[in-house]
Amino acid sequence: MRAWLFPGQGSQYVGMLRSLVEAFPYAQERLRQAEVILGFELGRICFEGPEELLRQTQYTQPALFVHEAILVELVRELLPATAVAGHSLGEYSAFYAAGVLEFEDALRLVQLRGQLMAEAASHQAGTMLAVLGLEDAVVEELCTRLSSDSEVLVPANYNAPGQLVVSGSASLARAAIDAFRSAGALKVVELAVSGAFHSPLMEAARQRLAEAIAQTPFHSPRMPIYCNVSAEPLHDVTQLREALIAQLTSPVQWKQILHRMYADGIREFVEVGPGKVLQGLVRRTLSDAVVRGIDTAEDVRRLQRP
């Protein structure tokens, strides 16, 4: 069985989407539709950058979703999936791929999500750290011990064995770097993000996003969606809606998703979207899985060749 995986923030790059738009009329039409909905020139930002602009949350998130949604339609019949999952923002692409959200509805939610996250980040200084080489339990215990009523640090992304991203107050996170190193971390890296995503510092954004999600039509999925907050395959529309709302302040259970998919018989994993981040995480987590990626027009053409 095959699963599609959709990447989130950090996978964007200047030049993304260009080859698809130049090669496929469908991609050009979809981008044009997206720009009308968004109210800005998404294509120009994707194609030309600069990187600092593309990296801004309110632009990154729509860029990733549109790139991934276009790829879904280009490869749906060529490389069909039996299940989907998306890493953080990529979960919106998974919902689209499974038929839960229509393109316009998903894009509007993604745009709002990016705006709300950027706004929340501007009000509370936060950041994220990638902690490499420690057991999850050690990182979790340190986060609990270092946090206080005024400053928080929490696990945010369980990416792969020995790779856990933590998120929280900027001052506390930076002060905690030495604590993680003293506990035996091989490496601690502050990520180039604008806020403490997947942490309680996103609560204001979560509340306002929840209102929009509650008013958005959801359809029954055509295939199971392994959701970030539980790593469980969900089919029920009410549960899917709740999972998407909870995701903003909850950790991404990515390693757990991969293990659950594998236990359910999935052996092939296709990263649908820009970059190769998720392919690397699959290889680190599941040693015998078949892994590939679909990103550019050439990747699609390769599937089209007899």
What positions carry a catalytic annotation?
88, 198
Cα–Cα distance measured from residue 26 to residue 33, given in angstroms and rounded to the nearest whole number: 11
Alpha helices (H) in 124-202, listed in sequence order: 136-146, 170-182
Backbone conformation region of residue 184, classed left if phi is above 0, alpha if psi is from -120 to 50, else beta? left
Buried b (16+ CB within 10 A) or exposed e, 241-264: bbbbbebbbbbbbbbbbbebbbee
Structure-token match 């306002």, residue found: 208
The Cβ of residue 151 has, within 10 Å, a number of other Cβ atoms equal to 17
The neighbouring-strand residues paired with 210 are: none
Planar angle of CA 225, 230, 235, nearest 5 degrees: 30
Query: Which pair of tokens denotes residue 226?
Result: 């392994």
What's at 83, amino acid-wise? A
DSSP reduced 3-state for 209: helix
Q: How many residues does the chain have?
A: 306
Q: By C-alpha distance, which of 177, 169, 97, 69 is closest to 130?
A: 177
294 touches 270 (CB < 8 A) = yes
Question: What is the distance of C-alpha 69 from the center of its chain?
Answer: 13
